[in-house]
Amino acid sequence: MITPITKNPFKTSFLSAFVITPGILPFNDQEIVRYDHELSRFEQIFLNPDIEKSLISKNELLASYSISKAELSSLTLKEAQDVYNLVLANSDYDFVSIKLKNGKKLTQKDYDKLEYFNIAKTFRNLNQNPFTFEDLSPQLILTLHQNLTQGLDIFEKYLTEFTVYKSGSWRDNDNIRVGKYIPAHYKEIEVAVQELINWLKTNKTITAVAIFHTALYGLHPFNNGNKRVCRMLEHILLRQLGINQKNLYSTSYYYHKQKPRYYKYLLYSLERKNLNHFVSFAQEAIMLSMISVVKTSLEAKRNEFLNSQTADPTTRIILKPLIKRKELQFKHLFKNVDKKMARQTFVTNLQKAAEKQIITRKDQGRSTYYSLNSPFPEEETISSWLLFIKKKLHYIPDELLLA
């Protein structure tokens, strides 16, 4: 057995302890680029313009929301949408100052809203005016941190157990811990950040961006707000490499949906000084986020098909689960409406839908499966991609496997 080559890509004292083994990563850059190109072709040929427009607008909201939820924000998606609308209407709106001028105390909810306001505003500005690899510098990273955290330290007076940000400044202490992990000594941060930037500029690859993300978080260059900075940098740098050009998806949203695994692999990488764990997870996030775009298109077309085939609200309720799932057993379809609908009503409507050829029925042993009677190109695309990805990943969410 040939032992994969392990590399130590950095030289500064702290970073030099981190290793990466490219040969054991699930994907190489060529494979990721190939599927990104396939997604572009799919978008050009099959993606409905209305669905594409919806994906682009929702992605900015969801990516910003996901980054805020990584910071344990209590905001609901509806509340985030309301704040996001403020960003769209007036990016200079200062609701915190207005509340203070009216003599009111600030609350945790105010903090969460301002945190999200900063994230959404910064994310929107960067998508509209992205930086390049050549622009990347320690000062740019400091400015990014400042934009993401401005005004938040005022909440130190109002919230308990508050970790100050020192917005736009490097960490100046060694009090920070991530679980049991001890980040770099604060005096090493500036030199190490510069080395990371120099290394990335000579290694402009998708895998290198994931390494950069992991190593920068390992340094923990800021007192607070490190995840925000790392995720923002990752998103823009990947797009600068030509990935996700239409901004149809976000790895941050995948990280949010897989939050326990996100933290697990991030801590594995930090505690073991082994970049492989989180870099592999970042590659997984990119590949499965691409499939999620196709899945969203598929669900929209299934929904359109269902609406075009029947105006009966009861039938639509019964068949609605088949928008997200390719097929379902009788018992699982009924489970969705159990206690809301009589079994005979359910059976009658299901039979009528089959007679009208809205759905197809498949008997397999003692089980009966139903699916919408309209194949879409998205189904073949998802099936083909998963055939390849299953060979590479140990984990794929059920929502993709059963689409």
β-bridge partners, 364: 367
Degrees to nearest 5, angle at CA 284 with 283 and 289: 105
- Evaluate whether 302 touches 321 at the Cβ level (below 8 Å): no
- Evaluate whether 229 touches 238 at the Cβ level (below 8 Å): no
Phi, psi of 304 (to 5 degrees): -60, -40
Helix, strand, or coil here: 371?
Answer: strand
Rounded CA-CA distance 27/30 in Å is: 8
Which one is catalytic: 145, 185, 213, 220?
Answer: 220
Q: Which two tokens stand for residue 289?
A: 């986020």
Q: Looking only at Cα atoms, what is the longest distance across the chain?
A: 73
Establish whether 220 is a catalytic residue.
Answer: yes
Phi, psi of 275 (to 5 degrees): -70, -20
CB-based burial label for 239 (10 Å; 0-12, 13-18, 19+): middle
Rounded CA-CA distance 338/326 in Å is: 21
Q: Which two tokens stand for residue 144?
A: 């990014």
DSSP 106: P
Please enumerate, by residue number, every residue annotated as part of a binding site for ATP.
262-263
Q: Which residues are catalytic?
A: 220
